[in-house]
Amino acid sequence: MSTTNTDETDEERPETDDDELIAEHEKQLNDLLAEVEGPDAPEAESTLPSLGLDMSRRGLMKAGAAAGAIGTLAGCSGIGSSGAATDENSGSNDVPEHTVAPGEHDTYYGFWSGGHSGEIRVMGMPSMRELTRIPVFNPEPAKGYGFSNDTSGMLEEAGDYTWGDSHHPSLSETGGKYDGEYIFVNDKANGRVARVNLNYFETDAILDIPNVQSVHGCCIQSPDTNYVFANSEFRTPLPNDGSDINNPDEYVSLFSAIDPETMDVRWQVEVDGNLDIVDSDKDGRWVLASAYNDEEGVEIEEMTKNDRDFVKAFDVPAIQELVDAGDYREKVNGIPIVDGTKASSHNSGDSPVVRYIPTPKSPHCVEVTPDGNYGIVAGKLSPTVSIIDIDKLDTASDPVDTIVGQPKLGLGPLHTTYDGRGHGYTSLFIDSQVVKWDIEAAVNAEKGSEEPILGKIDVHYNPGHIQAVQAMSSEPTGDWLVVLNKLSKDRFLPVGPIYPDNDQLVYIGNDKDDDSGGMELVSDHPVYPEPHDAIFAHKDKLDPARIWDQADYEGEKEYIGEGDSGVERLDDSTVDVKAYVKRSEFGLRDFTVKEGDEVRLTATNIEGSQDIVHGFAIPEYDVHLALAPKDTREATFTAEKPGVYWIYCTYFCSALHLEMRSRMIVEPRE
């Protein structure tokens, strides 16, 4: 539909002071507009005050299409050759600055799941500058993650995998608003959910969910984060212990409710079909899960056979009541399993605890609108999205009646996000476009109508997730949106056969009656595979610590102050080593242990100045602690090899950083 992109999309409009040339172009454009629209044509809706140029995209498109004049325009010296004024993506005068000047801060935090790089990436928005990374499912040396006893112990207890596939980050909420406390994110690969503490920007818990294999959908319960929900995508035998292996009919998908404080599973619900993505309503009652394999097939042809799959709507308080009353089928691995299948007695009466809503076809995501009125299910193999009226989940006698709209948006709809002004923005994977549409218009239109479409833009290429700022909360800001494109093809310098993905920033603050509906693509950002999804919060929603507060680990780890360094032999084969760390010294200039000793090292960075981090690295022992100010970490290892091992600091902390050294001496045992 639209042709809004060129290869120069991320270039800034160059300033020009050639007023004469501009005036001439302005005249040409106005002449064209007059020719196309007649003398009564309305004033073009956007102006270019800095250039004194009255030119709208719509005007251009119309002029171009009707008069075949795009070529003429592009041929104009100055405009076409500069790639500026005819560049439709940066052609708006009223897109706010998206670059951030040196020393200035971004307005928003963006948290990207890292996909199979297993992490969370933190970006500033709208600059899209990467601020940091938070390792979650993978050991990561820069932050000493997986190298200190607490972090390596956490990874070991969570299955001891060395990788994960982080998919759907959810910010914790209080009263429907992001409270800046936690991010929860799932591991699609190993069926886990992790919690990231946003005071320290550090993963503080990982739950390996029993009875499930792959967790795809993950969300918090709005409005107060009383649960975290996780959908198992791959159907497996229950328990998966060798029984029913050749009996796919007996495989199940489970909906898990997790306690966000203890990070334990409270209960699981078995359903028919599978479970894909999940989102919560805004009132703490219904949770909607999409599904694409109600055929319960194990091969692709089987999985895509039917024209409909069932969205499952879970009545969470009702399920919790069943569990509290002991009204569940059995416990497997200690977890109460509630029967949520279609044939379950809990689903037979007027108030089913799981409603099965048929939607076309192998649908992908479900995202609830910020006002909590609708759950929008993208059709994936159908060009439609289905609008589920959440109030009707309680009242409709036939689940089909909960679907109150089904606009036809384009090919391969995957995800939808919101601006809080009544618009949906849906990614179209196959069309490589974003479509903007009017939600209430879609409710009022015939099913299958294209009327609700307000505009489309091309994106590059094959978008998956799409997220606008704070769109998952009740407070969308309606200004920026990011499209996470799976392919980048020709957009960047080639870097070998594994290409970066392409995250594109789009401004959505202008609602315009043009081909794009006012959407403006403003920048491209190559990203390391595969940022899967993202969530954004205003910077005022977070208040991260600048240095550690030792009270936060008191009782768990010892703070090693300036006078506390030393070596203590506990028994013949165990040695305690304690060292403070500061610029530019380790509290122990050296220490001696015996071959075969278990060394229990505790180190504290006693500095109070922010941003002075020290590393505690012991070559050949795989020891690396990253010590932020006032932080303490422990590492336990066996001193297997006699010799001298230099200890050094990995963070460049002072002019004497290279000299900041110590020695571990391992004496041969007689």
> Which residues in this chain contact ligand CUA in the complex, by CB under 6 A?
584, 614, 649, 651-653, 657, 660
Contact 608, 559 (CB under 8 A): no
Burial of 317 from C-beta contacts in 10 A (0-12 / 13-18 / 19+) = exposed
3-state secondary structure of 553: coil
Among 186, 266, 183, 176, which Cα is nearest to 221's? 176
532 is an interface residue for ligand RUQ by CB under 6 A: yes
Q: Based on CB atoms, which residue is closest to ligand RUQ, 466 or 639?
A: 466
Q: Based on CB atoms, which residue is closest to ligand RUQ, 464 or 629?
A: 464
Q: Based on CB atoms, which residue is closest to ligand RUQ, 378 or 618?
A: 378
Least distance CB 652 / ligand CUA (angstroms): 6
For 216, the token pair is 């795809």
| Residue 404 one-letter amino acid | V
582 is an interface residue for ligand RUQ by CB under 6 A: no
Q: How far apart are CA 196 and CA 205, in angstroms?
A: 7
130-135 and 192-197 beta bridge pairing: unpaired
Residue 364, contacted partner among ligand RUQ, ligand CUA, none, CB below 5-8 A by kind: ligand RUQ
The residue with tokens 């044509």 is 41
Residue 651, contacted partner among ligand RUQ, ligand CUA, none, CB below 5-8 A by kind: ligand CUA
3-state secondary structure of 70: helix
Q: Residue from 58, 116, 143, 168 that binds ligand RUQ (CB under 6 A)?
A: 168
Q: Based on CB atoms, which residue is closest to ligand RUQ, 127 or 362?
A: 362
Least distance CB 635 / ligand CUA (angstroms): 17
Least distance CB 661 / ligand CUA (angstroms): 10
String of contacts with ligand RUQ for each residue 401-430, x by CB under 6 A: -------------xx---------------
3-state secondary structure of 79: helix
Residue 649, contacted partner among ligand RUQ, ligand CUA, none, CB below 5-8 A by kind: ligand CUA
Q: Residue from 116, 133, 167, 557 that binds ligand RUQ (CB under 6 A)?
A: 167
Q: Based on CB atoms, which residue is closest to ligand CUA, 285 or 614?
A: 614
The residue with tokens 């360094």 is 565
- 90-101 residues labelled b (16+ CB within 10 A) or e (exposed): bbbeebeebebe
Q: Any idea what DSSP says for residue 399? A: G
Contact 503, 484 (CB under 8 A): yes
Q: Based on CB atoms, which residue is closest to ligand CUA, 419 or 607?
A: 607
Q: Based on CB atoms, which residue is closest to ligand RUQ, 44 or 123?
A: 123
230 is an interface residue for ligand RUQ by CB under 6 A: no
- 244-260 residues labelled b (16+ CB within 10 A) or e (exposed): beeeeeebbbbbbbbeb
Residue 566, Ramachandran bin (φ over 0: left; ψ between -120 and 50: alpha; else beta): left
Q: Residue from 62, 216, 346, 557 that binds ligand RUQ (CB under 6 A)?
A: 216
Among 227, 348, 214, 356, which Cα is nearest to 289's? 356
Residue 492, contacted partner among ligand CUA, ligand RUQ, none, CB below 5-8 A by kind: none
Q: Based on CB atoms, which residue is closest to ligand CUA, 442 or 628?
A: 628
String of contacts with ligand RUQ for each residue 274-303, x by CB under 6 A: ---x--------------------------
Contact 567, 592 (CB under 8 A): yes
Q: Which residue is nearest to ligand RUQ (CB)?
A: 464
Contact 235, 276 (CB under 8 A): no
Residues 6+ apart with CB under 8 A from 149: 633, 634, 635, 636
Least distance CB 617 / ligand CUA (angstroms): 10
Q: Based on CB atoms, which residue is closest to ligand RUQ, 168 or 594?
A: 168
Among 572, 568, 570, 606, which Cα is nearest to 586's? 606
Residue 622, Ramachandran bin (φ over 0: left; ψ between -120 and 50: alpha; else beta): left
164 is an interface residue for ligand RUQ by CB under 6 A: no
Least distance CB 587 / ligand CUA (angstroms): 12
Q: How far apart are CA 658 and CA 395, in angstroms?
A: 70
Least distance CB 632 / ligand CUA (angstroms): 16
Q: Based on CB atoms, which residue is closest to ligand RUQ, 415 or 630?
A: 415
Residues in the chain: 670
Q: Based on CB atoms, which residue is closest to ligand CUA, 385 or 653?
A: 653
Q: Residue from 456, 465, 557, 578 that binds ligand RUQ (CB under 6 A)?
A: 465
Q: How far apart are CA 426 and CA 446, in angstroms?
A: 19
Least distance CB 633 / ligand CUA (angstroms): 14
Residue 533, contacted partner among ligand RUQ, ligand CUA, none, CB below 5-8 A by kind: ligand RUQ
Contact 291, 306 (CB under 8 A): no
Among 103, 146, 106, which Cα is nearest to 128's? 106
Among 422, 394, 393, 519, which Cα is nearest to 463's? 519
For 471, the token pair is 């769109």
Q: Based on CB atoms, which residue is closest to ligand RUQ, 115 or 372?
A: 115
Q: Based on CB atoms, which residue is closest to ligand RUQ, 178 or 292?
A: 292
Q: Based on CB atoms, which residue is closest to ligand RUQ, 185 or 387?
A: 185
Residue 614, contacted partner among ligand RUQ, ligand CUA, none, CB below 5-8 A by kind: ligand CUA
Among 312, 335, 338, 314, which Cα is nearest to 327's? 338
Residue 13, contacted partner among ligand RUQ, ligand CUA, none, CB below 5-8 A by kind: none
Residue 657, contacted partner among ligand RUQ, ligand CUA, none, CB below 5-8 A by kind: ligand CUA
Q: How far apart are CA 399 and CA 351, in angstroms?
A: 12
Question: Phi and psi dihedrals of 345, rounded to 5?
Answer: -65, -25
String of contacts with ligand RUQ for each residue 344-383, x by CB under 6 A: --------------------xx------------------
Least distance CB 615 / ligand CUA (angstroms): 7
Q: Which residues bind ligand RUQ (CB under 6 A)?
A: 167-168, 216, 277, 364-365, 414-415, 464-465, 532-533
